[in-house]
Chain A
Amino acid sequence: MEQIKLTVNGKDYELQIRPWATLLEVIREDLGLTGAKEGCGEGECGACTVIMDGKAVNSCIVLAVEANGRQITTIEGLAEGDKLHPVQEAFLEKGGMQCGFCTPGMILSTKVLLDGNKNPTDEEIRKGLEGNFCRCTGYTKIFESVKAAAQKVRG
């Protein structure tokens, strides 16, 4: 077993974990935060996306031990109580989801995209989300949600 310290959504955790556990498994099973999903388990679909030290990563292929000492944000950490993050608001208003399985990862990738660029072009939005697969929506309303979120973020 390995001992690790994680800060997840602003809260500090000290955990004993198997060294071969992935960050996704620890987030979902040890911390009970089931927003991050396992879609493919090999870093292809982005359903497991979390933000680690400000960068979007596929938590299914990050070992939990690698996250020792890091700051993690999951979908559960975006809203402030009942107040939705602007990205969440935009996805809700524009209908940027259907089954919702890709949604937590999609929203986190959007947040990271907008953190770095408040006015992305269509091309930059598509490229920024290329690691997040959606089978339901055809992406159209996801793009609309991202643009609406960008507008909210720009104020």
Chain B
Amino acid sequence: MSQFYRRLPRLQYFLPKTLDEALSFLKEHKAAARLFAGGTDLVPQLKKRETDIPLYLVDLKGIQGLDAITYDEEAGLKIGPLATISAIATCPFVQDHYPSLFQAASSMASPQVRNRGTFAGNICSAVPSADSAPALLALEASVRLLGQKGEREVPIDQFFTGPRKTVLEADEMLLEIGVPSPKPGSRGVYLKLSPRHSMDLAIVGVAAVGTCEDGVCKNIKIALGAVAPTPIRVPAAEATLEGKRITPGIIEEASQKAASQCSPIDDHRASLEYRRDMVYILARRALNHVFMQ
């Protein structure tokens, strides 16, 4: 029979002190072990029995040095897997150099959740509406993954494979999110559309990062959230703009293209038609923000 659970299921807890310990544990227990940092997505899911119940919860917060956020002009921004959304939102490097990431972080949930949740967790949970994803895609971020076979780097646009699915193997964890140094003169924005002014998942999320020189688009990256099985880039819309002179007409064209490139669903939060229409509107606004000062 059914019920509404208030308690978590029986679980065991493991607090590794080093990365090696964490990885060995993962290798040994595979799917019976789940990693977590903030737990703001995992714990509610476990309570509601919406995900497979693992035997072990592996808490990464015992490992030193994983919460750093660093920046230099060459290497760009490095976000550790335990850096909280609050830490990211209040980080001067983020505020100064990556406004789209700042906007994404500030738009997520509540102060309480931001104090615990992480960008790493957000992208590993891989919900199509993940707020950190569009900006990271538009910034051409990459993630460093660590497993038994060693480290590998995966560009963020290859990281997501489906709703709540990523390329992470059962024995792998996300070690770092790397965001390249912003191109000189680039402007970026993350726009989130939701019914209320807070505490909503995105119905549509649009990030755009680009540079313009003498009125000509030098480069542009556009990414969408909540309108496809994964957060996506829209290269066809980007191609409309690259190398072209910026006009309201071309922004219009690119926005229409972006809307045609997404594959939203009808669900209880919004209809397919509304989502598609809003991709057009938000893409237009994002591109105007990037290109029309």
Contacts and interface: CB of A to CB of B under 8 A. Distances in A.
A touches B (Cβ under 8 A):
yes
Interface in B33-80: 39-40, 43-44, 47-48, 57, 59, 61
B113 A43 contact: yes
A131 B8 contact: no
Which applies to chain B's interface (DSSP): helix, strand, loop or mixed?
loop
Contact of B48 (A42, A55, A56): A42
A66 interface: yes
Contacts of B48: 42
Contacts, number: 85
B40 A43 contact: yes
Given A38-B6, A57-B116, A66-B59, A109 B111 contact: yes
A25 B7 CA distance: 9
B195 to A, nearest CB: 14
Interface residues of B, number: 29
Nearest to B13: A19
Given A43-B113, A66-B39, A112-B111, 5 more contacts: A20-B7, A41-B6, A46-B110, A49-B112, A61-B40
Contacts of A43: 40, 43-44, 109-110, 112-113
A55 B86 contact: yes
Interface string B85-96: 010000000000
A66 B111 contact: no
The residue among A46, A61, A62, A132 with the most chain B CB atoms within 10 A of its own CB is A61
A131 B12 contact: no
Contacts of B86: 55
Contacts of B40: 43, 58, 61
B111 to A, nearest CB: 5
Contacts of A58: 40, 110, 112-113, 116
Nearest to B56: A19
A127 B198 contact: yes
Contacts of A63: 8, 13, 39, 43, 57, 59
A61 B110 contact: no
